[in-house]
Amino acid sequence: MFKLYKNLKAKDWLLFTLIIGLTVLQVWFTMSIIDYMRNVISSIMYVNYHHHPTLLGNEMGTLIQIYGWKDAIEVLKNAGQLDPTIYATLMAVSSATTGDIWKNAGIMLGFAALVVLVQLVIAIIASYISADLSTTIRKKIYSQVNNYSNHEMNQFSTASLITRTTNDIQNVQMTNVMMMRMVFTAPVTAIWAIIKIRATSMELTLATAIAVIALLIFIIMMMVVVLPKFKQVQKLIDKINGISRENLTGIRVIRAFNAEEYQKEKFEKANDQLTKTQIFTGRVMSLMSPGMMIIMNGITLAIYWIGASLINKGTIDYATVTSFSTLSGQIIMSFMILMMMFVLWPRASVCAKRINEVLMTNTTIEDPENEKTRLTKGSIEFKNVSFKYPDGDKNALTHLNFSVKPGQTIAFIGATGSGKTTIVNLMMRFYDATEGEVFVDGVNVKDLKQQTLHSLIGFVPQKGFLFKGTIKENIALGNPDMSEENIINACEIAMASEFIEEKENTYDFMISQGGKNVSGGQRQRLCIARAVALNPEIYIFDDSFSALDYKTDHQVRENLKHMDHQATKIIVAQRIGTIMDADQIIVIADGKMVGIGTHKELLSHCQTYLDIALSQLTKEELGLQ
């Protein structure tokens, strides 16, 4: 939790210091209220005695009727019947007026208003500091996650990252607000009240101490029971988010397989676990309020009981007992607040730990301090490259060696899971090679900043993804200032303009999140247009023609060929028809390169390629007969 505070800004620390000062001021005002409350009670008693002197005894009442207040007091004093304390009290009674009550009550209300004002200022400042800290942390998490390589993204589930960015930060923010508003007030109030209370009565102080001990035992018992459950809640929230996200993302598949009941049962099981845990913690925590009330009312009863005995003995007065009761209430309340913070703190601490895990997990893909100068334009080379995924048992790629000259069209083909997409990931530097080197434009990708590397490449992923916004905004994703002419031209090359112009608002048509309101083929063509619009040196198509029909597939590739002869094109595909015109085809099997050459060359000397080709086309179509 404390590690997060290094994200506080200088102005936040200044405001934090101001809260401490205001807290001391608030406690002083509160203690002053208690003092003036005692004065109000005393004034009421004195006025009552002043108007009804017989309440002080028949002898005193008779003397006052004969001599008047001041003369009667002097008679008793000269007779040696008054000690200094009683003398001072009688003098106060003799001059008591209703105005004394209003004066003390007015001052007391003034201090009460100041307490409210100071509490309001503290609440505003605490809310500002907490919100500002949460905003900073969210920005850092967002920036950190954006810089993660695929390796770090796989360490945290998407659902968990969402929970950490929202629910966890919210819990930390609420705890920080509570802490700044109360955690300073509680100890200062308790210490101040204890100092005042000790000077009053040892018997009453002992009763208060017993109540505090009972309170501590009660809270500790609750903490022992509840804290483990708080730690489970956050993990269960992660689980709920994961199932909800999975259900919403795969809703069409779920409906297609009539799996609604299965998904419902899975959600209800996780939901029931979370509900039962929260009900348990809620029930235990619900004991806190009645428990506190029993202890607080118990100490009040004890104080008045003991106080009545002391009043009868003449060692204390009613006003002192009342103020003592208020002070003891302040002490109990202070300890209660501290204990509540100890209950809230562990949950916030769990959340803070989860947030820090994200902030302190540095990406394994780091930019160099100084980039090397690129030597060519559009070249790619793999030198003895091997790669194993962080959680993998064996290499996904083994000793790959190939080079791509500027302007060439290179294709990769192989069975599912052979390592084709892994090659693309290394080109894009989503991962770093375990062994060997990957070169782009004659420079090791580790010697290029990721922003530079990605600006050279127009990437079309295997699974086309569009963002919520207009078609125009999706096409111009890599360059928001892109001209409309460039956007339209890119869509024409990708064969997307025909269906765009049929839509309402054409290029201003609103795409839903993930592109769910367009077909798979339309989504793929828009993704191709997005890459084309950047006019990059290198195009990478990661099995991105699979959603297109053969005619559109062929036409898009022809458009790309005529558009830019200088751009290098990397095509990962399953269909022979998509890659047979490539300058060079590389056949991948089990992470190894088992063939390289043109379509005709591979048909004659690569059995793996021949098997793939014959599974899709006849010998006549392949020209083998």
Please compute, for residue 607, the number of CA atoms within 13 A of its CA located in the half-sphere on the CB side. 0
Query: Can you give the pLDDT at residue 114?
Result: 92
Give the three-state DSSP class for 73. Answer: helix
Please compute the mean of the pLDDT values over residues 443-454 and round it to a whole number. 88
Residue 289 maps to a domain: yes
- pLDDT of 177 strictly over 80: yes
The CA distance from 595 to 585, in Å, is 8
Query: Can you give the pLDDT at residue 113?
Result: 92
* 566 and 521 within one domain: no
- pLDDT of 234 strictly over 70: no
The CA distance from 518 to 524, in Å, is 10
The CA distance from 276 to 280, in Å, is 6
Ranking 21-35, 159-173, 229-243, 599-613 by mean pLDDT, the lowest is 229-243
Give the three-state DSSP class for 52. Answer: coil
Higher pLDDT, 373 or 2: 373
Predicted confidence band at 517 (pLDDT cuts at 50, 70, 90)? confident
* 380 and 339 within one domain: no
Strand extents, DSSP E, 434-474 = 435-440, 443-444, 457-460, 469-470
- pLDDT of 233 strictly over 90: no
Tell me how crowded residue 538 is: count the other CB atoms within 10 A of its CB.
Answer: 23
* 512 and 441 within one domain: no
- pLDDT of 81 strictly over 70: no
Place of tokens 């894009």: 428
Place of tokens 């094109």: 569
Sign of the torsion angle spanned by Cα atoms 38, 43, 48, 49: positive
* 167 and 231 within one domain: yes
Amino acid (one-letter) located at 123: A
* 51 and 20 within one domain: yes
Q: Which of 301, 325, 360 is the last residue of a domain?
A: 360
Q: Which H or E element spans position 82?
A: none
* 241 and 272 within one domain: yes
Residue 529 maps to a domain: yes
Please compute the mean of the pLDDT values over residues 276-280 and round it to a whole number. 83
The 10 Å CB-count burial string (b at 16+, else e) for 279-290 is eebeebeeebee
* 78 and 44 within one domain: yes
Higher pLDDT, 25 or 393: 25
- pLDDT of 98 strictly over 80: yes
* 86 and 167 within one domain: yes
- pLDDT of 537 strictly over 70: yes
What CATH number is given to the structural domain containing 207?
1.20.1560.10
Tell me how crowded residue 459 is: count the other CB atoms within 10 A of its CB.
Answer: 22
Query: Can you give the pLDDT at residue 82?
Result: 67
* 161 and 176 within one domain: yes
Residue pair 533/563 in contact (Cβ under 8 Å)? The answer is no
Ranking 9-23, 250-264, 404-418, 532-546 by mean pLDDT, the lowest is 250-264
* 543 and 527 within one domain: no
Q: Which of 500, 534, 568 is the last residue of a domain?
A: 534
Residue 40 maps to a domain: yes
Query: Can you give the pLDDT at residue 314?
Result: 67
Specify the number of domains making up the chain: 3
Q: What is the pTM of this model?
A: 0.69
* 542 and 530 within one domain: no
Residue 365 maps to a domain: no
Nearest to 429 by CA among 376, 375, 363: 363
Residue 128 maps to a domain: yes
**Residues β-bridged to residue 381:** 403, 439
- pLDDT of 200 strictly over 70: no
For residue 499, the enclosing domain spans 464-534
Give first-to-last CA distance, the chain, whole Å.
Answer: 74
* 601 and 479 within one domain: no
Please compute the mean of the pLDDT values over residues 362-386 and round it to a whole number. 86
Residue 315 maps to a domain: yes
Query: Can you give the pLDDT at residue 181?
Result: 78
- pLDDT of 471 strictly over 80: yes
Higher pLDDT, 117 or 52: 117
The CA distance from 476 to 450, in Å, is 20
Residue 29 maps to a domain: yes
- pLDDT of 117 strictly over 90: yes
Residue pair 434/386 in contact (Cβ under 8 Å)? The answer is yes
The CA distance from 437 to 458, in Å, is 21
- pLDDT of 625 strictly over 70: no
Q: Is 336 exposed, middle or buried (0-12, 13-18, 19+ CB in 10 A)?
A: buried
Q: Which of 519, 534, 549 is the last residue of a domain?
A: 534
413-445: pLDDT as tens digits: 888 888 888 888 888 888 888 899 999 998 998
- What is the average pLDDT value for the chain, to the nearest integer? 81
